[in-house]
Structures are given as C-alpha cells and as structure tokens.
Structure 1
Amino acid sequence: MAYRWTNTLTRADTTPQSAFLNRRQLMAGAAAGAGLAALGGPALAATDEGLKPNSWEEITNYCNFYEFGTSKTDPAAHAGAMTTAPWSVMIDGLVDRPGAYDLGDIVDNMTLEERIYRFRCVEAWSMVIPWTGFELADLLDMVGVQEGARYVAFETLNRPEEMPGTNYPVLDWPYREGLRLDEARHPLTIMATGLYDRPLPNQNGAPLRLVVPWKYGFKSVKSIVRITLTKDEPFASWNQVNAREYGFYSNVNPTVDHPRWSQATERLVGGGLFSRRQLTQMFNGYGDEVAALYEGMDLAKQF
C-alpha cells in the first residue's frame, strides 16, 4: 500500500509548526472544501509511513547556497547580510508585458498555497519541506508568454559585497538556471516565498526561489532577480561548468549514477549519520504527475 499526502488540508492543519511535525495530523486532513492548501507530495512507500516534514532548524541550517560558501552551514552563517527589501524581478524576453516587477505587486496578484514537497540534493540527501508559494504558471500568465517561447531562464542576485561566496570562482556568477516551458507551467512547479508559514529565510533563497520537486535541488534557483522567456535552451550554471555530472534536465533518476557516487539511495536529513538509507524514487516520487513530460526521451542521455 502507498501513502500519499492529499490536497484536503487547510491552513489550520498546516500551522503552527508543531502541526507539520505530526504526520498523522497531516494525513487526517480537514473537511473537504476548506480550500487554501493544495499539497503536492510523492507516493510514499509503506516503510515510510512515519516520514514527516523536517524541522525549521534542519531546513534552515543545512543548505546549499554557494553565493555564501560551499559548506552546508555557510548560508545560515552569512546570508543574514543579504538585503531582501525592496526586491524587484526583471521579466523579459518573449513576453507581452516585460518590465521590472516589484515582488510585493507580484505576490498581491498571486494565490498563495502551502505545499509539502520531498526535496532532494544531488549528494544523496533529502528533506521534506513545507513551502508557501504560488504556481509559476500563474506568473507566466500574468506577463503573457509569446508564441515561440520554449524555455524559461532564471538568474540569482549577484551582490559580492553581501554574498562572500561570489568572490571565489566556484561558478560563473551570477547563478543561472532554466526549465522547459512545459516544466515551468506544471502545477507542481512553484515560486516559494516562505516555509512553515513564515517568510523565506535568506539562506533558503529569500525572498523568492524556484521549487521543482521532481528535480535535484540545484535546479531550484534562489533569490531570483530575473526571469527570461527564450526560444533556445538557456545557460544553466552547473550544466555549463560540468556537463558530465550535471545535465540540463537534472531529473531525479536513481538509474543514472553521478560519476562520483551512486544515486540509488538517499538519507533523510535529521535522521542521524547512521540512519537507514532508503531507495531513491524515480522523479523523486512524482512520476505519476510528471513522467508524461519526458515521453520518448532517453533519460540516461538527457539527464
């Protein structure tokens, strides 16, 4: 039997934080039709019945955000220096209404939802994170996507005086990523503005980050300042620096090993160094929802 987080929960079920940490409360749900939360989640193996969202401390203190350093603890230590208000996002390229959009104005025009997603890093660890955000598709509809657009490109803030990691040539700064348009429009793809019903912390990509739960975490670009609609496949930082290890699509695929380690199993952050590893699920467990996007593709080559 498989367990699935459903879309029957309301804000009352997902806050405060203590409610998130009791998975049985989450599974119980609330009366149908109460309507704010639309929770997307993977089918969970029966052995994962006790799986629950990670704590605030785990989520905010074990991060990848190389603009603040390459250690998992560097973002929490250094990201407080990043200024996140005011914040605007340049949206350009093949759109009807290009321009610099104030983040407050964007959020005012979006429907915020709370979603619990399995989130996986390429180094074979995973978290379960309760995000607050809105569907990227709604933002694209707001600006109007022109005929001929096939991809969506994203760019992270590049402010060396506030982001010490950018003073080192780890990557070609600013950090950039991209999705195919159908991936970007998928209802599981969200722009996150918070977690645990609190504003998104700087180290987790404040004030606006991408979340694509069936892909590895590095596809979820943080602190976004630019979104560009393009005809051609956009620049993707990790793919450009090492295409052998980081494909453009970056879908979670346990049958394709990273050249330096297996991706067939994973360990949940917070379980301890000697916690039981579990099998990695194809598309991070979201295969029923997203596998159709990749029909006909060789996912061992287009990884």
Structure 2
Amino acid sequence: MLIRILPPSAVPPSDITPEPAYYRRREILARMGLGAAALLAAGCGDAAAPAAPAAPANTAAGLKIARRSEQAGGETVTPFETTSTYNNYYEFGTDKGDPSRSAHSLRTRPWSVAVDGECEAPGRIDLDALIRPHALEERIYRHRCVEAWSIVVPWLGFPLADLLKRFKPTSKAKYVAFETLYDKEQMPLARWSGLDLPYREGLRIDEAMHPLAFVSVGMYGKVLPNQNGAPLRLTIPWKYGYKSIKSVVRIRFTERQPVTTWNQMAPQEYGFYSNVDPAVDHPRWSQATERRLGELFKRKTLPFNGYPEVAPLYAGMDPKKLY
C-alpha cells in the first residue's frame, strides 16, 4: 500500500476552499462589502492602482487545469484586481501601477525559449510546444516582496524540473541562469528603469529541481497578464519576489554562479540566494513583518515564507553571509 506523505506547508483537503466558492470569491467579497480591498494596497507606499482589468481570456493554446493543490496554508487568495495592478516590472515602469498601464505593448506570440550551456540537448523550443506536453497544475502559493508586502496567488503551470530535465543537464551544471526579454520597441519605459537589462536571475541546480520551483503560464485559471510576466515566468515561493523572473526567453546551465540583476546592482541589499528570512534585515528596513496586500495590519514573516521543506537545501550555510 502506498502512503502519501504531505509536505509541512500542505493542509488537509477538508481545509481547502471548495472550487465553486473559490471561483465566486469576488462575488462573495462584494456582498460582504469587502470589494475595496485593493485600495488598501496604496498603504504600502504607492499611488492608487489604475482601474482593474478583467481577468485575461484563454488563448488558442487552451490552458486546462489537470489538478489543483493548496500550498499556502489555507490562506485567503489575494484578489486578481490587486495582483494584476500592483506589480514590479521595471521594463514597463518603476511605479507599482505602471506595468498594468504599459505592458499591453508586449507581444507574447510568437514566443520561444533558448536553452543551452552545460546540457546534452541544447536547443530552442516554441512556447506552445513547451506547454502542450504538460498536465497543467494550479498551485496556490504565498509570495513575499523584499519591500515588506506579500500576496497569495493561484498559479497555473508545471514544475521547473520537468522543463529542465528534457534538456539533459550534465554533471557540470551547478547553476541555472535565466534571462528575460528585452526589446526597446516593446518596452519604451525601460530606458528609465535604472537597471542593466536584460533582467537576469539564477538558481542553484538543486533549488531549480526542487518540487516547489514552478513555471507559471497562467494565474487565476487564465493565461498570464503581460504585467505579471506573460507568457511564462518562474514562481519560486520561498524566495523574495525578484527571484521569480518574468517573460523568460533564455535558460542556461552553468558551472559557476551566474550574475543576477539586483545582486549586481546592489549586492549589499540583494543577495544571490534571497531566501525569505525574518531574522536577516534588509539594510533599509526590517524583514520581520509584512503587510498582505488588502489587509490593514502587519503579520509576522515566516522563515522560507512558510515552506520549511526547502530548509535542507541550505544546511550549514550562514544566512547572514549567503543571504
């Protein structure tokens, strides 16, 4: 007999919100008089968000959910209207409301991803060919931004390991480097971003192969909005948000630790590992607490953002030096 052992972050099925209630959550909130939750996001220091867009429609690719999993401790999902209008995507503006106003210029078809480096089967793969073989999952994850705000989002996609294994990384592949699209025509505001573009991120190979590491191609049951990283992005829930790179066009297996954008720009503030750790403060603010967008009061930040199953990846490491 097979016995399924759930990770510490999982919750019993009895505690999961029923599917019909989840998809009617905005209607329920409206009846409770909570429809203005997104307005509280302005309390995190940014101007009020623009008018909320409608949830994106499916494309011809047809994103079908094969299975769902609750991996956010049964917490309330942040409304789509909030997560789609309060974004960090500097290629489309540095204010949180800029991307939802400006990212419409991003063309997400055709789209392909090049994979090379220390692997036996390098190549370029078309987005739809990449998505088609996978039984897409919906995973509800917590996310914590280094700026002390947080959200809970239902992502649609597949494990990052499933993508990486098909290119057969060699024993020399110690790290995985990721690069986002950079197109001055599609991203006219990028010249004022202050970043050395294209945006780059990276993971150690064992982090990238961890079951929680996810490739997201949709959210809230629909394809990704441009401002949230269309057409595909990483979702690494135990790390600060800037590690979850958007609009990926290149993946490279490397033997040495790759250069990453924020670590290159401000290494004293943004480490390569960037694990959520309430005991290690950012030089300009505490990481001990966070404010969930849509909530008035702060809450305690959880180690590894509440995903303790990743802790063995960092056994013996000094989090104050390798932050």
Alignment of 1:48-63 (within 5 A): 51-63=75-87
Deviations 1:86-141 (A, max 9, x none): 10000111112111110100111223100000011110000000000110100111
Deviation at 1:161, TM superposition (A): 1.0
Conserved 8 A contact 1:13-1:19: no
* Structure 1 residue 6: Cα displacement: 4.9
The verdict on how the C-alpha distance between 1:7 and 1:295 changes in structure 2, with shifts beyond 3 A counting, is farther
Cross-structure match for 1:120: 144
Which structure 2 residues correspond to residues 253-292 of structure 1 after superposition, within 5 A?
Answer: 253-271=277-295, 275-287=296-308, 289-292=309-312
Q: Is the 8 Å Cα contact of residues 194 and 200 (structure 1) preserved in structure 2?
A: yes
Q: Which residue of 1 aligns with 2:71?
A: 41
- Deviation, 1:36, is 3.5
Helix, strand or coil for the counterpart of 1:118? strand
Specify whether residues 146 and 15 from structure 1 end up closer, same or farther in structure 2 by C-alpha distance, changes over 3 A only: farther
Q: For the residues of structure 1 that align with 2:28 and 2:280, how far apart are their CA atoms?
A: 34
Percent of pairs identical after alignment?
50
5+ unaligned residues in a row in structure 1: which ranges? 24-34, 45-50
Contact 1:8 1:37 in 2 (8 A): no
In structure 1, what is the Cα distance between the partners aligned to 2:175 and 2:9?
Answer: 34
After superposition, the Cα gap between the structure-2 partners of 1:75 and 1:7, relative to the gap in structure 1 and judged at 3 Å, is: farther
Q: Deviations over 1:28-80 (max 9, x none)?
A: xxxxxxx9335252447xxxxxx300111001000000110110000000001
Distance 1:21 1:261, change over 3 A: farther
Number of the residue aligned with 2:60: none
Following superposition, the deviation at residue 147 of structure 1 comes to 1.5
8 Å Cα contact 2:175/2:258 also seen in 1: yes
- TM-score (normalizing by structure 2): 0.82
Q: What's 1:142 paired with?
A: 166
Q: Structure 2: how far apart are the matches of 1:261 and 1:171?
A: 22
| Paired residue type of 1:18 | R
Instruction: State the 1:163 CA deviation.
Output: 1.0
Per-residue deviation at 1:17? Answer: 2.9
Asked whether the 8 Å contact 1:21–1:53 carries over to 2, the reply is no
* 2:229 is aligned with 1:205: yes
The aligned residue for residue 13 of structure 1 is 19
Q: Are 1:160 and 2:184 matched, yes or no?
A: yes
- Which residues of structure 2 form unaligned runs of 5+? 1-7, 30-64
Equivalent residue letter for 2:154: P
> In the TM superposition, what whole-angstrom CA distance separates every residue of 1:144-201 from its partner, at most 9, and x where no partner exists?
1112100000000001111123212511100000000000000100000000110000
Structure 2 partner of 1:182: 206
Matches within 5 A, 1:218-297: 218-271=242-295, 275-287=296-308, 289-297=309-317
TM-score normalised by length of structure 1? 0.87
Name the counterpart of 1:87.
111
User: SS of the counterpart of 2:119?
Assistant: coil
Whole-angstrom distance in 2 between the partners of 1:8 and 1:239: 42
Count the aligned residue pairs: 281
Partner AA of 1:64 in structure 2? N
2:53 is matched with which residue?
A: none
Cα root mean square deviation, aligned = 2.5
Aligned match for 1:96, one of 109, 114, 120: 120
Query: Does the 8 A contact of 1:69 with 1:75 survive in 2?
Result: yes
**Amino acid in the other structure paired with 2:221:** D
Q: Hey, what's the Cα distance between the residues in 1 that align with 2:107 and 2:294?
A: 29
**Aligned 8 A contact 1:38 1:115 in 2:** yes
SS at match of 2:284: coil
Q: What is the distance in 1 between the residues matched to 2:78 and 2:120?
A: 40
